[in-house]
Amino acid sequence: MLSHGQGCYVEDVDGKRYLDLLAGIAVNTLGHGHPALVDAVTRQTAQLVHVSNFFTTTPQVELAEALLRVAGAPAGSGVFFANSGTEAIEAAVKLSRRTGRGTVIAAEGAFHGRSTGALALTWKAAYREPFEPLIGRVVHVPFNDEDALREAVAAVGEDLAAVLLEPVQGEGGVVPSTPAYLALARELTTAAGALLILDEIQSGMGRTGRWFAYQARGVVPDAITLAKGLAGGVPIGALVTFGPTATGLLTAGQHGSTFGGNPLACAAGLAVVATIEADGLLEHAREMGEHLAHGIFALRHPMVAGVRGEGLLRAVVLAEPVAAQVMALARQAGFIVNAVAPDALRLAPPLVIEAHELDTFVAALPGLLDAAAGR
């Protein structure tokens, strides 16, 4: 049971300290107890925590403007605020239905949330099957397979509302999309008059060393979904629509949320955006990600089959399916990591993590791998 945290460390109720290499699954962008976040939330709590959505507030408008700016969104773009990633996806599904079409193509390995709508887009059978039938007209295609995408778009034909993809699959094992695959998805959706929606809930907000992972791939989507790291741990989600056509699909009153976009969450989001910019955390995430990957490669450990991912969204790929054991041993040794697949350990530390902190984990890793492999 965890009690408190500071920087990249958390402490449990027994006083044991852990290096947090997961950041609440890519959520605690600024780590724990960051003064900018504490200050923003404290001040906003005294000023205004919540108002009805009959009103806008300064933090809400400013966060929407900041997101549109860092996304490089064109004039006529829009932001809808929700409270979670799942809700951002629900908004995206409703947006896609407003094209007048009904089928969404998603990828095998995808994770988009667990409401009955978002779950239909999620790939993992264990999450989906106990609750079927879910919303219909979802087609899953193998991720990064260009021919399969071409064939699926052709097969769906006139009913294609959207292709919805994670630029870097998170729960699927930290698997980056290839630039060519996203470019093809853009080309096919444009030609079909359908939307390209990118789920940046895990890969966005600087996690991969860019504001959004799609920005390293030269495509412009019709919409992106955000949540996780957006407000550094305060619950929030967002659907960003690009340009007047996509934005105009959902008109006022067609979607809404009581808590969505409340001033408290938006003030936290503004503190995250401002700190990423002021402290150069995009560049820092790229540098630290490289540092981590090089450190792990340099071990030349037989249990390390590779390192996947970008920036500070990484997976250590293991030569044997012992990720769960490594995760448990790591916790005993004071490191929080995640077995995202039987053979993959996910690392998604706060973007403020320093090289010497990462190095303590890299130094401990050979011992953890040996113990997990029973050597």
Ligand X SMILES: *Cc1c(COP(=O)(O)O)cnc(C)c1O
Q: Which residues in the 80-99 window bind ligand X by CB under 6 A?
A: 84-86, 89
Which residue's Cβ lies closest to ligand X? Answer: 85
Q: Which of 356, 354, 357, 338 is nearest to 346 (CA)?
A: 338
The H or E element containing residue 298 is helix 281-298
Distance from C-alpha of 297 to C-alpha of 36, rounded to nearest angstrom: 35
Residue 84 or 262 with smaller CB distance to ligand X: 84
Task: Specify the long-range contacts of residues 113-119, CB closer than 8 Å, at least 24 apart.
Answer: 113/84, 113/85, 113/86, 113/87, 113/89, 114/86, 115/86, 115/87, 115/89, 115/90, 117/89, 117/90, 117/93, 118/86, 118/89, 118/90, 118/93
Q: Which of 164, 157, 169 is nearest to 196 (CA)?
A: 164
| Residue 145: active-site member | no
Given candidates 202, 208, 247, 262, which one binds ligand X under the rule CB under 6 A? Answer: 202
Residue 106 or 368 with smaller CB distance to ligand X: 106
Given candidates 185, 227, 322, 348, which one binds ligand X under the rule CB under 6 A? Answer: 227
Number of residues that bind ligand X (CB under 6 A): 15
Using CB under 6 A as the binding rule, whether residue 338 contacts ligand X is answered as no
For the beta carbon of residue 135, count every other beta carbon within 10 angstroms: 16
**Order of strands across the sheet with 103-107?**
78-82, 237-241, 223-226, 195-199, 160-165, 103-107, 138-141
| Residue 212: active-site member | no
Cα-Cα end-to-end distance for the chain: 30
Residue 189 or 225 with smaller CB distance to ligand X: 225
What is the x/- site pattern for ligand X, positions 25-64, by CB under 6 A?
----------------------------------------
Residue 227 or 266 with smaller CB distance to ligand X: 227
The one-letter amino acid at 109? G
Closest approach, Cβ 228 to ligand X, in A, equals: 6
| Residue 111: active-site member | yes
Stretch in the footprint of ligand X (CB under 6 A) among 45-53, 182-190, 196-204, 336-344:
196-204
Residue 9 or 237 with smaller CB distance to ligand X: 237
Distance from C-alpha of 64 to C-alpha of 217, rounded to nearest angstrom: 23
Using CB under 6 A as the binding rule, whether residue 236 contacts ligand X is answered as no
Using CB under 6 A as the binding rule, whether residue 166 contacts ligand X is answered as yes
Contacts with ligand X by CB under 6 A lie at 84-86, 89, 111-113, 166, 170-171, 199, 201-202, 227-228
Q: Which residues are catalytic?
A: 111, 199, 228
